[in-house]
Chain A
Amino acid sequence: MNGRRIGQRAAVAVLGCATLLTLAVVAFVIGFVLEKGLPQLSLEFLLSKPRNMGKEGGILPAIVGTLLLSSMAIAVALPLGVGTAVYLAEYTRESRFTRALRFGTDCLAGIPSIIFGLFGYIFFVTTLRMGWSLLAGALTLAIMVLPTLIRTSEEAIRSVPRSWREVSLSVGATRWETVLKVVLPSALPGIVTGVMLSFGRSIGETAAVIFTAGSSFRLPRGGFDSVRTMAVHFYILAREGISTEKAYGTAAALVLSVLAVNALTYGLMHRFIARRGR
């Protein structure tokens, strides 16, 4: 009995240490970036254009470019991803086809982003003659995050109790009405998690973006303009030794924008859930 108690305590201690270690690493990384970067942040830095290759000035075009690119990518990927997930979870029975499809999406999720960049460059930029542009970048990112969106949405949809579907059908709802009124609203938190993961991935993406959206300093005026995202800006500043300070400033802005987007999404989701009277 004593041995069992010791084992129990040891397990709790080990698990606790693992958690602490994880938290410490995360806190260290974020703390490091913010410590180096926050002093660089100022309204002027956030709201002005870069000068002298980014050695001076700010990062406004990169902020705009990042948010536009990621939002467009999600706007394209979300309907496709959720649509596929609904189809897989609600309209098909488990078969060789669905298993193949799932295997395919899992493989797609494991492909390094630079391969997507290469594909986007060859297909969107060159073949479809979009050039280095917001559009080419957003479509490439959309393909890149699609597997994540599909899998998280499918999991979320499958975790909605079957009995709710039966109840809905039993009062004369069609399958589609049941999906719209019961299944999707209940699966929303899971789908939102997928959106946030995808958004985070697209915001931070560098390789796929350099190849497809280019690295123009200018504020985009349309879908066919090239943009430079914060991640790309950071990469170029750091790699070419242009300005370490500005690079850290950009990194801090990047981290903060991910936090802001996630907080906003969570807030919207909770408001939605509260409005449904759960």
Chain B
Amino acid sequence: MTLPATAPSVPKVAVRDLSVSFGRETVLRGVSLDVAANRILGVIGPAGSAKTTFLRALDRMNELEPGCRTEGRVLLDGADIYHPSCDPVALRKRVGMVFAMPMPLPMSVYDNVAYGPRLAASRRANREAARDLSRKAKAELDELVESSLRSAFLWDEVKDRLGSSGFKLSGGQQQRLCLARTLAMRPELILLDEPCSGLDPVSTARIEEALAVLKARYTILLVTNNTKQAARAADDTAFFLMGELVEIGPTGKVFMNPSDRRTEDYVTGRFG
């Protein structure tokens, strides 16, 4: 956290020559970039520019699709997540993801947030030990759920109905619930895939507010179709076009003084 904002020494994420193809179609081509710790990287570009594929490559979600092939390297704290020794299940605990559509699981608000931690705990401890610790663990879990919901700016709105279904919340609340569910895993890296695409401006503002606070503790990638959102929320911005990275730099520079003509056309709204 003492890193100077302008010259981060070791990048949190280093992507090298990353290509992703589905079947015969190469969707993402030769992307290399660094993401500095405790900053928000906005990823912008028109539909079909492989922003989501890029994001999903960072927690190995692409490989759930049949026929997906990934080449290149993605270094998280210097270790390649595509190395055969890297377990994708363990990786996904370090890298959280919030999807485009608010997607609560069919369970209560509390259980939604506690879902990941409970799984992790049940794997860690054997049952007997778990029973001994159960009271303490319950209190810890309560605390974790509360702090996650607070960090997602949702606690005050749901604290009296933790037991009711996640589906009963409004769209904006559901998306913050999904953010809380991700935060409860205490990930190092948070990937947000157009988290506000289905939300109204007020809900969007609340999410952005949360992100601004969260970047002190996390590294965040924010894919967005809304260039204004990137301009508001992101420290750095990467512009993708048709599966390639066109430009990456501090948000102010990308928006005010882009080095590539295509970036300029896009951010000024000439296409996209």
Which label, helix, strand, loop or mixed, suits the secondary structure of the B interface?
mixed
Given contacts A277-B108, A277-B163, A277-B164, contact A173 B101 (CB under 8 A): no
Bound together, the chains give a CA A177 to CA B165 distance in angstroms of: 21
Enumerate chain B residues within 8 angstroms of A186, measured Cβ to Cβ: 106
Tell me how far the C-beta of B255 lies from the nearest C-beta in chain A, rounded to whole angstroms. Answer: 30
Q: Is B90 an interface residue (CB 8 A)?
A: yes
Number of interface residues of B (CB under 8 A): 31
Q: Which stretch (B4-12, B21-29, B115-123, B138-146) binds chain A? A: B115-123
Bound together, the chains give a CA A185 to CA B164 distance in angstroms of: 17
Number of interface residues of A (CB under 8 A): 20
Q: Is the CB of B99 within 8 A of A172?
A: no
Q: Is the CB of A163 within 8 A of B99?
A: yes
Enumerate chain A residues within 8 angstroms of B66, measured Cβ to Cβ: 93
Bound together, the chains give a CA A186 to CA B111 distance in angstroms of: 15
Tell me how far the C-beta of B141 lies from the nearest C-beta in chain A, rounded to whole angstroms. Answer: 14
Enumerate chain B residues within 8 angstroms of A166, measured Cβ to Cβ: 61, 64, 99
Q: Is A276 an interface residue (CB 8 A)?
A: yes
Enumerate chain A residues within 8 angstroms of B115, measured Cβ to Cβ: 168, 171, 173, 181
- Taking A169-B92, A173-B89 as known contacts, 11 extra A-B pairs with beta carbons closer than 8 A to each other, sorted by chain A number, are A163-B99, A164-B105, A169-B64, A169-B89, A170-B61, A171-B116, A172-B90, A172-B92, A172-B93, A181-B119, A276-B107
| 28 CB < 8 A contacts A-B | A163-B103, A166-B61, A167-B99, A168-B105, A168-B115, A170-B59, A170-B96, A170-B97, A170-B182, A171-B96, A171-B181, A171-B182, A171-B185, A172-B90, A172-B92, A172-B93, A172-B120, A172-B185, A173-B89, A173-B119, A182-B105, A185-B106, A276-B106, A276-B107, A276-B108, A278-B107, A278-B165, A278-B167
* Residues of chain B at the chain A interface (Cβ within 8 Å): 59, 61, 64, 66, 89-90, 92-93, 96-97, 99, 101, 103, 105-108, 111, 115-116, 119-120, 163-165, 167, 178, 181-182, 184-185
